[in-house]
């Protein structure tokens, strides 16, 4: 690993000033689970590390106007075990629980899960399906982007030089809605996904027909993707084998997986269609249950 200087500013403004001063030489460090590995492998050699860990306010999970705000420094384990997340958005707690091992989840942060922009990560998939927004701060001010627009390419995000992810805002699902996250990982339970799918389904008042749905996938291309064509097929329909087949076909056309040690591209394409069927079935069942308990 290269030698580097280390700063641990106490405010975001201070961190942004240090990042601005050192330009390309500087890198933010949060949990360090990805960055330190990349530095050890000499894939990155930053001369300056700017830790976010002393900055207060970035480690909160809070309810805000029906949404849930999660700060960039909140760890995966904190999302997984948060009573607020478990109660309001159980699929998100479930997704974070599926990441690696407890050791990793105790260190890795929500901001790191986004900024690292690895298409094999779990949290971005569910955040896209939930319609979450990422909050970004830079010297020029604050901006917000839908999570699905945040990923530009393999390990490349919408972050401009000197910008920092400060958190995500996750909207509450409407009444009569359900969500599911399915992670297909045939090797070990702490591996990255071979294919991952998150789906949300909201039902009409009849408790059967789909009013709106969102589907997102991970590990099927250079970024996590949203499957708009498949979503469009679901609206107004009831769940059934033919519908799932059609959605699966639309998925096969939408994904472009890489051949790697987790499977061939052809295998991942087939599994993407299968996993979408499973996620939709689970989300639909949950939506039906939710519609039955609607006040
Ligand atoms: C062995 C192992 C297995 C793993 N398995 C999985 C898995 O199955 N699924 C999964 O989803 N994840 C998995 N992870 C975690 C994932 O790959 C990343 O390591 C993790 O999400 C990075 O979070 P971090 O807080 O440690 O980021 P860091 O390592 O601190 O930073 C990662 C990158 O993001 C940047 N960054 C971090 N925070 C910010 C911020 N707030 N603003 C701007 N830039 C920022 C850094 O500059 C760096 O470029 C695994 C990690 C390891 C080590």
Q: Ligand 1, closest atom to CA 28? A: 47
pLDDT digits (tens, 9 = 90+) for 280-293: 999 999 999 999 88
pLDDT at 251 over 60: yes
Domains of the chain, start order: 5-51 (3.30.43.10), 61-170 (3.30.465.10), 177-292 (3.30.390.50)
Measured distance CA(202)–CA(119) in Å, rounded: 26
Lowest average pLDDT, out of 133-142, 167-176, 187-196, goes to: 187-196
Q: How is residue 109 annotated by DSSP?
A: B
In percent, how much of the chain has pLDDT > 70?
99
- Lookup result for tokens 């890198």: 27
Question: What pTM value is reported for the model?
Answer: 0.96
pLDDT band (50, 70, 90) for residue 279: very high
Q: What lines the ligand 1 site, CB under 6 Å?
A: 27-35, 37, 52, 72, 99-100, 104, 107-109, 111-113, 115-116, 118, 121-123, 159, 164-165, 192
Half-sphere exposure for 107 (CA within 13 Å, toward CB): 11
Q: The tokens 């958005």 sit on which residue?
A: 89
CA of 278 to the centre of ligand 1 (A): 28
Q: Please state, in angstroms and rounded to a whole number, the distance separating the CA atoms of residues 32 and 93.
A: 22
- For the stretch 135-146, pLDDT in tens is 999 988 999 999
To which residue do tokens 């401009």 refer?
A: 160
Give the pLDDT confidence score for residue 256 in this predicted structure. 93
The pLDDT tens digits of the residues spanning 115-155 come to 999 999 999 999 999 999 999 999 889 999 999 999 999 99
């Amino acid at each position: 690993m290269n030698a580097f200087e280390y700063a641990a500013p106490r405010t975001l403004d201070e961190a942004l000033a240090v990042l601005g001063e050192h330009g390309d030489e500087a890198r933010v460090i949060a949990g360090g689970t990805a960055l330190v590995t990349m530095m050890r492998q000499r894939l990155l050699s930053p001369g300056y590390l700017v830790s976010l860990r002393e900055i207060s306010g970035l480690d909160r999970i809070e309810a805000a106007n029906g949404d849930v705000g999660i700060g960039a420094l909140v760890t995966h384990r904190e999302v997984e075990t948060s009573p607020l997340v478990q109660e309001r958005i159980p699929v998100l707690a479930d997704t974070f629980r599926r990441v690696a091992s407890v050791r990793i989840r105790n260190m890795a942060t929500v901001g790191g899960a986004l900024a690292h922009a690895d298409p094999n990560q779990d949290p971005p998939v569910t955040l896209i399906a939930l319609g979450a927004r990422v909050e970004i701060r830079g010297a020029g001010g604050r901006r917000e982007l839908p999570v699905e627009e945040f990923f530009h390419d393999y390990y490349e995000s919408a972050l401009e030089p000197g910008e920092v992810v400060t958190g995500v805002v996750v909207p509450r699902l409407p009444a009569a809605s359900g969500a599911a996250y399915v992670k297909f990982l045939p090797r070990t339970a702490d591996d990255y996904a071979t294919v991952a799918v998150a789906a949300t389904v909201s039902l009409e008042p009849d408790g059967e027909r789909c009013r709106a749905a969102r589907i997102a996938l991970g590990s099927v291309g250079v970024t996590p993707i949203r499957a708009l064509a498949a979503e469009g097929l679901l609206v107004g329909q009831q769940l059934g084998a033919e519908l799932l087949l059609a959605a699966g076909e639309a998925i096969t056309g939408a994904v472009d997986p890489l051949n790697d040690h987790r499977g061939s591209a052809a295998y991942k394409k087939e599994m993407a269609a299968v996993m979408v069927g499973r996620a939709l079935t689970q989300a639909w069942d949950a939506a039906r249950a939710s519609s039955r308990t609607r006040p």
